[in-house]
Amino acid sequence: MSGNAARVQAVHQIINRELMPPKPPERLEEIWAENVFNLSKMQASLPKPVFKSIKNTILTGERLDPSIADTVATAMRDWAMSKGALYYAHVFYPMTNLTAEKHDGFISVQGDGNVISEFSGKVLVQGEPDGSSFPNGGIRDTFEARGYTGWDVTSPAYIMETDNGSTLCIPTVFVSWTGEALDKKVPLLRSITAMDKAANKVLKILGNTNVAPVNSSCGAEQEYFLVDTNFASQRPDLLLAGRTLFGKAPAKGQEFDDHYFGAIPERVQVFMQDVESTLYKLGIPAKTRHNEVAPGQFEIAPFFEAANVASDHQQLLMTVLRHTAKKHGFTCLLHEKPFAGINGSGKHVNWSVGNATQGNLLDPGDSPHDNAQFLVFCGAVIRGVHKYGSLMRAVIATASNDHRLGANEAPPAIMSVYLGTQLEEVFEQIKTGTVTESRQKGVMDLGVDVLPYLTKDAGDRNRTSPFAFTGNRFEFRAVGSSQSVSGPLIVLNTMLADSLDWIGNRLESELSKGVECSTAIITVLKEVMEEHGVVVFGGNGYSEEWHKMAVEERGLSNLRTTADALPVLKEEYIEDLFEKTGVLTPVELESRFEVYAEQYILSIEVEAKLVISMAKTLIYPAAMNYLSSLSSTMTNLTSLGIELDKSSVQTIADLSNSMVAALGQLSDALGKHDFASTEEKMQYCAKTLRPLMDEVRGYADALEGEVADSFWPLPTYQEMLFVK
């Protein structure tokens, strides 16, 4: 098929397609966690002492008693086989933001040629997936392939059902033969331990005698796009890069805001319900769904859970979104910026810390000014964001998120904290050395008797802040939609651990002078605010003035691109932070820099190659075909004595020539290989390759506006965003 024939066919197929019938309603209580080997299933299938022991490990983080592993493995296998699984997989989370799994059968061949099913404690607890192809940032050479997976007892095993069968999935850590973390789970677990230790210390100083382990919680809001697969499969850029590298803006985009929170299209709602029922079976508490700002963009948010489980569930949620979309004829795009000029997708990481004895430590209550515990924890966060803002920026730095940050639709690349009016006032008072009051919640009378009084929160929200307090948690809004939430959670927990540790030491030294605890708290928090208060900002984060003020007056850094941000990982104070909290060794940290830098460079190089091939093999030929058709028409007409205006022929010829010239430059630029360092190569990608890609795109998109639609080979923005 040439020209737009394939597109026309796709539109017909979409319009005439039969919707997948919605699933019959299922009772939530019946399907909830049906596919999860959770505590209640363990209780039903394990001998009492074994259950008690494993429950203790799960709830308190105590080391697993190796002698019970065989019994647990057998019960897990029997349960999995009763649900049709013949294979199990150690699932792990390499540094690529992806989820990896290695499948093994329960099958064991006996001497007599018969088979039995077998699953021992040993293979449950430890696997050796080889995994030599996963990036490890120089920790090991490819010939030193050994890598081990180890069972994370705190994240429940589950059955993954696909049309091809069921597999028992076991969440694991992934480490090298030398014991270094090669994944995102090990440091996340370590960061929780570090934060727990520091939080415990502070809570005890504050006079608590009964202090349960402190954990962090995470609820992640996931934004995504759905594009019909009939279109997506005709776009090499969507298939290989996850975003469009070409495409002229449609006459109508999102300017009417008519998609945001609008009625969910029928076909999409059927898809969402399918996703939700799968998630419920997997014990993932999907809670919120709505249309997002851009046409074709949606959001799903589960109820928050313990950080480690939330992180595994988040990875699983992305997998379920992709798989289910396929079933419904959609391609789910998790890329941060699938369409230029249209809002991109983020993942808001809602984060709080708490425990069973003190509750949510970031809950201010009704009168935050006299809630010492809250003030200390909130103060610790403020200090953390100021000291380690660049690290927060580095951990969300990817080639894809660069399109979003600072683009007036997502928070800027400058890290600041939004507290809301009420808390801002309280922390302003702290600076003066006395806190006496906090603004109270209000009541709104809407002036119509039948309407109820609505309560008004003591502080508003701020969409433009990268890190905002939202009532009883912080919301890290700058995280990219395709990212694992582990990285951001590791940084948040680790910087909090560092701040709490510092505050604990300062409090101890004040108390040793014999002052009252409340006085000591104000003294220390005053110090925190004097030194770190500049990071608190309640205004418009999109504005020019803020960008100037943040950098020039407040000394905050504005690391615009990944090339600017990633080198932060190599700074000494960051190495110190991770080393003293025990979250990452210097070798592990260094390897992370290498892996993330390599990923950045590779993504841009792949995109650049794709720009070249699409422009040469799809766009240029379309322009030439149209030109030849135009010029032969003109020649024919001239022979009849009719002259047509030739300006469009000239325009297309000029644009085509300019595009070819830009392509030549991009090709040459891609050929450069002599770089003094990884940092230099990253800068080259950001400052040379990307602008050249944009230049090619500029000419190509202009051609799309000149060439007859019937000659255009790529599904257009209009079709991809609006035809459902």
Exposed/middle/buried for 702, CB within 10 Å: 0-12, 13-18, 19+?
middle
Shortest Cβ distance from residue 223 to Mg ion (Å)? 9
- Among the candidate windows 121-129, 220-228, 395-403, 650-658, which touches Mg ion by CB under 5 A? 220-228
Provide, rounded to whole angstroms, the least separation between the CB of residue 399 and ligand ADP. Answer: 26
Instruction: Give, as ranges, the residues between 366 and 405 that touch Mg ion (CB under 5 A).
Output: none
494 binds, among ligand ADP, Mg ion, none (CB under 5 to 8 A by kind): none
Comparison of 310 and 376: residue with beta carbon closer to ligand ADP: 310
- 651 makes contact, choosing from Mg ion, ligand ADP, none, with CB < 5 to 8 Å by partner type, with none
Query: Which two three-digit tokens encode residue 595?
Result: 């892996």
Which residues sit at the interface with ligand ADP, rule CB under 6 A?
A: 217-219, 221, 288, 301-304, 350-352, 360, 472-473
Find which of ligand ADP, Mg ion, none residue 472 binds, CB within 5 to 8 Å per kind: ligand ADP
Tell me phi and psi for residue 644, to 5 degrees.
-100, 155
Helix (H) or strand (E) holding 305: strand 305-306
334 vs 529 by CB, closer to Mg ion: 334
Q: Which is nearer to Mg ion, 292 or 424 (CB)?
A: 292
E-strand ranges in 425-572 read: 442-444, 454-456, 467-469, 474-476
Phi-psi region of 406 (alpha: psi -120 to 50; beta: other; left: phi over 0): left
Residue with tokens 């003066």: 432
Told to check if 594 binds Mg ion by CB under 5 A, we report no
Residue 217 near which of Mg ion, ligand ADP, none (CB within 5-8 Å, type-dependent): ligand ADP
| DSSP secondary structure letter of residue 252 | S
User: Closer CB to ligand ADP, residue 222 or residue 234?
Assistant: 222
In the bound state, the residue with its beta carbon closest to ligand ADP is 219
User: What φ, ψ does residue 670 adopt, rounded to 5°?
Assistant: -65, -25
Q: Least distance from C-beta 299 to Mg ion, angstroms? A: 6
Distant-in-sequence, close-in-space partners of 151: CB < 8 Å, separation ≥ 6: 64, 90, 124, 125, 126, 170, 171, 172
Residue type, 704: E
Helix intervals (H) in 615-677? 620-639, 647-670
Q: How far is the CB of 87 from ligand ADP (least distance, A)?
A: 32
Burial (CB < 10 A; 0-12, 13-18, 19+), residue 96, is middle
Q: Considering CB distances under 5 to 8 angstroms, the limit depending on partner class, which of Mg ion, ligand ADP, none binds residue 565?
A: none
CB 303 within 8 A of CB 219: yes
Instruction: Say which entry of Mg ion, ligand ADP, none residue 542 contacts (CB below 5 to 8 A, set by partner kind).
Output: none
User: Looking at beta carbons only, is 299 or 598 nearer to ligand ADP?
Assistant: 299
Q: Over the range 310-341, which residues count as b (16 or more CB within 10 Å of their CB) and which as e? A: bbbbbbbbbbbbebbbeebbbbbbbbbbbbbe
At closest approach, how far in Å is the CB of 470 from ligand ADP?
A: 6
For ligand ADP, give the closer residue by CB, 352 or 481: 352
Nearer to Mg ion among residue 221 and residue 425 (C-beta): 221
Residue 360 binding result from ligand ADP, Mg ion, none, given CB thresholds of 5 to 8 Å by partner type: ligand ADP
Q: Of these, 101, 180, 196, 221, which contacts Mg ion (CB under 5 A)? A: 221
Helix (H) or strand (E) holding 491: helix 486-511
Q: Which of 477, 467, 227 has its CA nearest to residue 334?
A: 227
Out of ligand ADP, Mg ion, none, which partner does residue 352 contact, by CB within 5 to 8 A per kind?
ligand ADP
Nearer to ligand ADP, 317 or 707 (CB): 317
**Strand ranges inside 163-268, DSSP E:** 165-176, 215-228
Min CB(481)–Mg ion separation in Å: 13
Phi, then psi, of 103 in degrees rounded to 5: -95, 140
Which residue's structure tokens are 């230099």?
680
Residue 473 contacts which entry, Mg ion, ligand ADP, none (Cβ below 5-8 A, type-dependent): ligand ADP
**Choice between 188 and 563, CB closer to ligand ADP:** 188
Beta carbon of residue 507, minimum distance to Mg ion (angstroms, whole number): 37
What is the separation, in whole angstroms, between the first and last Cα of the chain? Answer: 23
Q: How many residues bind Mg ion (CB under 5 A)?
A: 1
**Closer of 101 and 221 to Mg ion (Cβ):** 221
- Please report how close the Cβ of residue 356 comes to ligand ADP at its closest, in angstroms: 14
Rounded to whole angstroms, the Cα distance separating 636 from 24 reads 63
* Residue 511: exposure state from Cβ atoms within 10 A (0-12, 13-18, ≥19): middle
Query: Which of the residues 608 through 667 are near Mg ion (CB under 5 A)?
Result: none
Is residue 710 helix, strand or coil?
Answer: helix
Q: Which does 304 bind (CB under 5 to 8 A by kind): Mg ion, ligand ADP, none?
A: ligand ADP
Which residue number is nearest to Mg ion in terms of Cβ? 221
Mark residue 555 as left, alpha or beta (left: phi above 0; alpha: psi -120 to 50; beta: remaining).
left
Pick the closer one to ligand ADP by CB: 23 or 463. Answer: 463
The identity of residue 322, as a single letter, is R
Per partner kind, with CB cut-offs from 5 to 8 A, the member of Mg ion, ligand ADP, none near residue 350 is ligand ADP
Contact residues: Mg ion, CB under 5 A: 221
